[in-house]
Structure 1
Amino acid sequence: MELLTPSVDFVFKRIFGIEENKDILLDFLNAVFESANEPGVTEIEILNPFLDKDAVHDKQSILDIKARSSNGTLVNIEIQLWNQRDIEKRTLYYWARMYGGQLVEGGRYRNLCRTVTINILGFNYLASEHYHSIFQLLDTRTGLVLTNDIEVHMIELQKLREVSVGQQRKLVRWMLFLLGPTPEKMGELVMGEPALQKALTTLEFLSQDREARELYESRQKAMNDWISNIEGAREEGREEGKIEGERMKAFAVARRLLNKGMPIEEVADLTDLTVADIERFQ
C-alpha cells in the first residue's frame, strides 16, 4: 500500500486538525516550542476541527489549523509546498486577522492574547541554514522584546533532507515524518514515540480509505492546476517580454538608419517594421 504524502495540506489537516487527534497536535506544538527553547503547553483546543470538502477542490482555499492553548495563546498552522510569493506579508495579514479578531466591541486591549503563526514550507525560502526560524518584535540593537504577543515560525522541510532519523530533537522527527520517508525509515522514525505512531496509524487509515484518497487526488489536481496556471502566465509574460524586446531593438536600429538619412521604406525593409510603425515612432 502506497502511503499518502503527509505534507499535502489535506492530509496534514486530517492528521493534526481533528478532535480525536488533539494529542498529536499537542505533541507537535510542544516540539516546535521545545525547538524554540520556549515552555510547552499542556492542553489545546482545536478551533476549526472540520474540513469543508468543497474547499479541497478550490486551489485558492487554505486548509490551515487554528487552535488555542489552555493559557489563551492562539496558534495558526499552515503548510505550503509551493512558493506563492509575498509569504511575509501574507503571514502578517493572517496573523493580524487572528490577533485582532479576539477583540469584541467594547473589549480591552489588555485582553488580547499571544498569537503564534507556524508556517511549514516545502521549499527553501530564507537565507539561513537553519530549518527552524523564529521571528518576534524586538529592538534590533539590544534584543529587547517589545511584546511576545507576535511570534512567527518558519520551518523549511527541504533543509532536513540530509538530517538522520537518529536526531533527538522531536521537531526533526516530525519534519521527517511530513517528508514521507520509506516504510522502513518511517517505522524507525516513530519507534518509541506514541504521538508519531498514532499519526502513522492515521496516515495508514487515510491511505486505505477510498473517499480520503479521492479527496487527496482532487487536492493534488487543484494545486497542480494552480501551479500550471502560474507557470503558464510567467511563460507568456516572458514570451511577450521577448517579443517586445525584439521590437525595441528594431526601433533602435531604425532610429540610427533614419538619422543617417535613409528613406523610411528602406528602413522598414531592413528592420521588418511597417512604414506606419516607423512613422508613429518618428
Structure 2
Amino acid sequence: MRFISPKIDYVFKKVFGSEESKDILISFLNAIIYDGEKIIQSLTIINPYNPGQVLTLKETYLDVKAVLADGKIVVIEMQVSSMTSFGKRVVYNLAKGYANQLKVSDNYIRLKPVIAVTITDFILFEKAEKIINKFVFKEETENFKCLDEELRLVFVELPKFKKKLSELESLADKWIYFLKEASSFDEIPPSLEEVSEIELALNLANQAGMTVEELEIAQNRAMALQDERGKITFAKEEGRQEGRQEGKEEGRQDEAIALIMRLLKKRFGEIDTETITNIENLTIEELENLGEEFLDFNSITDLENWLNI
C-alpha cells in the first residue's frame, strides 16, 4: 500500500470533508477538542469534498466546516507552511464563521459558538511545549473566562509531536501520528487499524483507492505547493542579497518591491506602469501580504482587484 499525505489540502478535504467522512471527523474532533471524550455524537459537514480541476491556495484557508448536533460550528484548517499575518487569518475565519450565521433581521440569540481548529506543520508557539493548545477569552489579570466560550481557538502543531508508533497512547496521539506519518506507511499499522475511523481515513488516503483523476490532482497539488514555496524562498533570498548590496536606508522596502515584481513578472509577464506604481506605494506589511496572496491569483485582473480593495 502507498498513502498520500493528509497534510496536502486536497487529500485533507477528501479524508475529513467527503460524504464518507462523518465518523472520521467526529472521532478526530473528539480527540483534539475534547481529549478523546465522546462529546460529539453527530455533525453535518456543510462544505462537502468536491474534487475540482483547479485548486487555488485560497481554498486551503478553510479546509472543512461542520455543524455539530448542538449547533456549534467548527472550522478546520490545515496549514503546511508559515506565512505573514497567519494569526490574523485564523482570527478572521473564526470571526467570519460567527458573524455569517445571522441575516440582517436575525436576533443575536440565534448565534451559536464557533470553534476554529488549526493544524500547522510548523512551530507556532515557540515557548509552549504542548502539542495541542486551546484558547478562549479570559480576563487579563484574574484569568476568568467570559463570553460563555462563544469563540474558541484550538491549535495542533505537528512538528512538536515526537512519539513513535509504539509510544502512542491516546486517541489524539493516533490522529496526530496519522496526520504526520501516513505517507510513510507501507501498510496500516495494527495500533491505528484498531481505531475504525483512522482505518477508514487511511483507506481514503490510499493511492490504490483513488481514481486516476484524483491521484493526478493530488500529486500535482503536492508538487505545486512545493514549487511555490521553493520559488518564494528563492526570491526572498535574492531580494535580501540585493537589499544588502544596495545598502540603502529603504533597502527593506526596495527588497520587498523587487521580490513582488520578480514573482509577478514570472507569473504574468510585463506589468503596466499604473499597477507598478500602485505596488511601489504599498507599505512593507501590504507588500508581504501581497507576496502570499499572489499565489491565489489566476490572472493580472486578480492582482488589479486586490490592489483596488
Place the TM-score, normalised by the shorter chain, in its bin: 0.7 to 0.9
- Correspondence list, 1:61-210, <5 A: 61-62=59-60, 64-127=63-126, 128-147=128-147, 148-181=149-182, 182-183=184-185, 186-204=188-206, 208-210=210-212
- Equivalent position to 1:235, from 213, 234, 237: 237
Q: Deviations over 1:143-187 (max 9, x none)?
A: 211120111111011111335544321111001011125436841
C-alpha displacement of 1:7 = 1.6
Q: Determine if contact 2:51/2:214 at 8 Å carries over to the other structure.
A: no
Specify the SS of the correspondent of 2:159. helix
1:215 lines up with 2:217 in the alignment: yes
Aligned equivalents of 1:169, 1:114: Cα separation in 2:
26
Aligned equivalents of 1:55, 1:118: Cα separation in 2:
25
Aligned equivalents of 1:46, 1:205: Cα separation in 2:
24
| Aligned twin of 2:44 | 45
Q: Determine if contact 1:165/1:173 at 8 Å carries over to the other structure.
A: no
Task: In structure 2, list runs of 5 or more residues that go unmatched.
Answer: 251-309
Q: Using a 3 Å threshold, how does the CA distance of structure 1 residues 237 and 207 change in structure 2: closer, same or farther?
A: farther
Q: Deviations over 1:84-112 (max 9, x none)?
A: 23221110111111110001111111211
Aligned equivalents of 2:172, 2:114: Cα separation in 1:
20
Aligned equivalents of 1:12, 1:197: Cα separation in 2:
15
Specify the SS of the correspondent of 1:19. coil
Specify the SS of the correspondent of 2:101. coil
Q: Once superposed, which parts of structure 1, at least 4 consecutive aligned residues long, lie more than 6 Å away?
A: none
Q: Determine if contact 1:59/1:219 at 8 Å carries over to the other structure.
A: no
Larger Rg: 1
Matched letter for residue 76 of structure 1: V
Matched letter for residue 233 of structure 1: A
| Aligned twin of 1:274 | none
Q: Deviations over 1:216-269 (max 9, x none)?
A: 112112212321232133123202211112899xxxxxxxxxxxxxxxxxxxxx
Q: Deviations over 1:108-159 (max 9, x none)?
A: 1121110010111111121211100001111132221112011111101111
Matched letter for residue 181 of structure 2: G
How many pairs does the alignment contain? 246
- Correspondence list, 1:252-263, <5 A: none
Specify the SS of the correspondent of 1:133. strand
Specify the SS of the correspondent of 1:7. coil
- Identity fraction in percent: 27
Aligned equivalents of 1:124, 1:163: Cα separation in 2:
19
Q: Using a 3 Å threshold, how does the CA distance of structure 1 residues 50 and 196 change in structure 2: closer, same or farther?
A: closer
Matched letter for residue 161 of structure 1: K
Matched letter for residue 152 of structure 2: E
Aligned equivalents of 2:234, 2:152: Cα separation in 1:
36
Q: Determine if contact 1:177/1:186 at 8 Å carries over to the other structure.
A: no
| Aligned twin of 1:258 | none
Aligned equivalents of 1:165, 1:19: Cα separation in 2:
32
Aligned equivalents of 1:194, 1:38: Cα separation in 2:
16
| Aligned twin of 2:284 | none
Aligned equivalents of 2:116, 2:166: Cα separation in 1:
26
Task: In structure 1, list runs of 5 or more residues that go unmatched.
Answer: 249-282
| Aligned twin of 1:269 | none
Q: Determine if contact 2:2/2:185 at 8 Å carries over to the other structure.
A: no
Aligned equivalents of 1:167, 1:154: Cα separation in 2:
20
Aligned equivalents of 2:37, 2:13: Cα separation in 1:
25
